[in-house]
Amino acid sequence: MFALDGINILDLTWQGPGPLATMMLGDLGAEIIQIRAAPTAGARQEIRVAGQRAVAYQAVSRNKRSLLLDLKSEEGRQIFHRLAREADVIVDGFRPGVTERLGIDYATISRINPRIIYCAITGYGQDGPYRDLPGHDINYISTAGVLNLIGEADRQPVVPLNLIADYGAGGKDAVIGILGALVARGKTGRGQYIDISLTDSAISLLTESVLSPYFQSGVEPGRGDHVLGGATPAYNIYQTKDGKYITIGCLEPWLWENFCRAIGKEEFTAYQSERDKWAEVTAHLKQLFLTRTRDEWFDFLCQQDVPVGKVYSLDEVFTDPQVVHRRMVIELEHPAEGTIRQVGFAIKLSDTPGQVRSLPPLPGEHTEEILLSLGYGRGEVERLRREGVIG
């Protein structure tokens, strides 16, 4: 048994937060059909040439079946509507207005299936003056005020990959919204529309550490000025003797005391709240950490009850004993590639744990299977393929 047994999802997303969200739902047991545009003859040839290797490691496509469908065609829309009648959730990654033009929007689908939960993920939301603007994570976190807070005070902001709006905020907010709507539907019997704005989600990440104190004091933190942004020596990154880096996170007074005692500088204990001393202490710690290797500092400070972490390369992450123990990398057997590695399950459920039930599919791998299950005959399927309605 899985947590989301019996939940059927139509996935109309192709990059960023949508595929991550549906991957998480699929890991929890939902049945997912990944719907992409039917390819041209040239694209079909590229798919055949790329073969299994192109998709084997695409973890965001695991636990999904693949249907290639031309939603711009009338017959393509009819196929989608037939799928939507039995679906529980639709996840849409189009820009606002696209699904209306295609005839697969929430208003249309909810008439076909009033229980449908329709989650639309966009950069700025379904309304407002920015709703039609194109964008990516870097644009959304800059608008949200997040980007300006990341980096050192005397340098330009640091681009943090697309980890914040796309994945840390929007993708997971989509999952939360969908699960909340499923609970609500269990009470009301009705589906609903979920409007996820990546910008809104990024703003929400600032709630406790930035916005609550800002709204209270009216004082805006500058880049590098926040205690969680590198201002304090107690929560910072230091280079070590071997050219690697280590982090300490001694925000609580007793943890800072543990650290100061461990390095023989108990006089620094009183400086944790004295900002005028932070530069002096930081300069001392920069020199101190250069006297031992990263791993030596880690082993030593762990024994002193100090929050400490090694700054890892990706190669190091997946040999770390904690990460290995938590199974955050899993090995799977692939028919063409042999043993492959994928990211594990971050959500640990005791009774209904996540599982990879199927490997990432080739684009269109399940098109015929899905249409046959809808009642189409093999002759109809072949005709639809010849006409480019399906791939």
For residue 129, the domain's CATH number is 3.40.50.10540
Q: Which pLDDT belongs to residue 40?
A: 55
Assigned domain for 162 exists: yes
Assigned domain for 1 exists: no
Assigned domain for 316 exists: no
Q: Which pLDDT belongs to residue 147?
A: 97
Instruction: Indicate if 11 belongs to the active site.
Output: no
Given the residues 70, 92, 166, 200, select the one marked as catalytic: 166
Instruction: Indicate if 136 belongs to the active site.
Output: yes
Q: Which pLDDT belongs to residue 47?
A: 55
Strands 329-334, 338-343: parallel, antiparallel or unpaired by DSSP? antiparallel
- For 96-112, write each residue's pLDDT tens digit: 999 999 999 999 999 99
Assigned domain for 30 exists: yes
Assigned domain for 56 exists: yes
Range of the domain at 125: 8-204+352-386
Contact 33, 80 (CB under 8 A): no
- For 272-299, write each residue's pLDDT tens digit: 889 999 999 999 999 999 999 999 999 9
- For 245-277, write each residue's pLDDT tens digit: 999 999 999 999 999 999 999 999 998 889 999
State the total domains in the chain.
1
Q: How does DSSP assign 164-214, residue by residue?
A: IIIIIIIIHHHHHHHHHHHHHHHHHS---EEEEEHHHHHHHTTIIIIIHHH
Angle between helix axes 253-262 and 294-302 (nearest 10 degrees) is: 120
Assigned domain for 319 exists: no
Contact 329, 344 (CB under 8 A): yes
Assigned domain for 371 exists: yes
**pTM attached to this predicted model:** 0.93
Assigned domain for 280 exists: no
